[in-house]
Amino acid sequence: MVKKVTQTTDATSAGATPTEAMFAADEASRALGIELREQGEGTATLRMTVTPAMVNGHHIAHGGYLFLLADTAFACACNSHGPVTVAAGADIDFVAPAYEGDVLVATARERTRFGRSGIYDVTVLRGDDVIAEFRGRSRSIRSTTTKESQ
């Protein structure tokens, strides 16, 4: 089931899904104006507007920002099942340039999960135009303990 997200859910909210909790704690993505629009098991849709700070010397969106948008959608989709899941690797193909002011939508879909691993595809669109195709490989980790909490 896909859930439309109408506002950012506080990570401490009792009703927050794993995706909403993770995204609420993602300062990097939220600071860039990325919005979680929809989420469900193995899927997520995010939106970002290309700002002047995201444009490179060729007057197009820097590929790093496009990768970050796709990677964030991937993270939301692969963490939707509950266990903390991280990227094991990812690739992106830039299909068309994006420009300042463009509203980009990244939709992530789970292709398969096996053991603690998964494969996810993300398409980044500007309207109906494909801007980038991303494939992420995930790995669920056994513990949520961080160095700081040890």
Helix, strand, or coil here: 120?
strand
pLDDT in tens, 84-130: 999 999 999 999 999 999 999 999 999 999 999 999 999 999 999 99
pLDDT in tens, 134-146: 999 999 997 655 4
Buried b (16+ CB within 10 A) or exposed e, 47-67: bbebeeebbeeeebbbeebbb
What one-letter code names the amino acid at 72? T
Which helix (H) or strand (E) segment is 27 a member of? helix 27-31
Order of strands, sheet of 2-4, starting from the edge strand that comes earlier in the sequence: 2-4, 35-40, 43-49, 103-114, 117-126, 129-140, 85-94
* The pLDDT value given to residue 7: 47
Residues 119, 124, 128, 130: what is their CA dihedral angle, to the nearest 10 degrees?
A: -90
* The pLDDT value given to residue 150: 40
